Amino acid sequence: MKITCISASNTRAKGDKSTSIRVCNLIKEIVLKEPQCPVTVDVIPLMDYEVKPCILCGACFKEGHCVQDEEFNRILEALVEAQGIFLVVPHYSPIPAKLIMVFEKINEILYARWINDQAYQSPFLNKPVGIIGHGGMVENEKSLQYYHDRLITPVADTMRSLSFKVIGLDEGFLNGAAFGLKDDSC
């Protein structure tokens, strides 16, 4: 089984100390601790990729990848090959810019392929994705609900529109999990 964990942070100055990357590495550690079957976990830090915005050239419909952006194609390939995905998203903007560019390109590829063949199905159809949102507010019921509603839910809605199956945390957090700071000293 192959799992891909994407850190959507673009806080390059923090590097591996980025909270999103640390969470991806923790997920990897947990998954690999006692695997029930052979499993690999790839961590993709978007900060390491120079993804370019979509220019709507339409050339992606033929090959199913972006003819303008090899960095994006590496991410796309990892997502297609994965049997499960974790998406760790920080809240320092509504949705981090590189994640938006990845969503935009995936959407254009799927749409262009469908326009040219209405029998086309997304390679992400029902592929499970777990979304984890976090930010700089002290963790309490109100901040967790804020992250769920304002960060995780728009990301989850986008993932569903791309045919992914979003896995929620529980009945209160149907679109994913969130966490904040332990206290004001963090």
Predicted local distance difference test score (pLDDT) of residue 186 = 59
Predicted local distance difference test score (pLDDT) of residue 15 = 74
Q: Helix, strand, coil: what percent of the chain each, to 5?
A: 45, 20, 35
Q: In which residue ranges of the chain is pLDDT below 70?
A: 184-186
Predicted local distance difference test score (pLDDT) of residue 13 = 73
Q: How far apart are CA 51 and CA 31, in angstroms?
A: 28
Predicted local distance difference test score (pLDDT) of residue 185 = 65
The DSSP 8-state label assigned to residue 169 in this structure reads S
The DSSP 8-state label assigned to residue 51 in this structure reads P
Predicted local distance difference test score (pLDDT) of residue 61 = 86
* pTM, rounded to two decimals: 0.94
SS3 121: coil
C-beta of residue 16 within 8 angstroms of C-beta of residue 68:
no
